[in-house]
Structure 1
Amino acid sequence: MARVTIEDCLKEVDSRFTLVHLAVRRVLQLRGGAPPLTEVRNKEVVLALREIAAGKVTVDNIRRLEEAKALPEPVAVTQKEDVARLELKEIMDEATLYDASMEFDEAQQVVEPDAEPSEEG
Structure 2
Amino acid sequence: MARVTVEDCVLKVPNRFDLVLLAAQRAREISSGGALTVDRDNDKNPVVSLREIAEETVGVEILRESVVQSLQKHVEVDEPEEDDFDNLSLDVVGELSAMVVADTDEDLLTIQDEPDSGPIETEE
| Length-normalised TM-score, structure 1 | 0.49
Report the structure number with the largest CA radius of gyration.
Answer: 2
- Write 1 or 2 for the structure with the bigger share of helix: 2
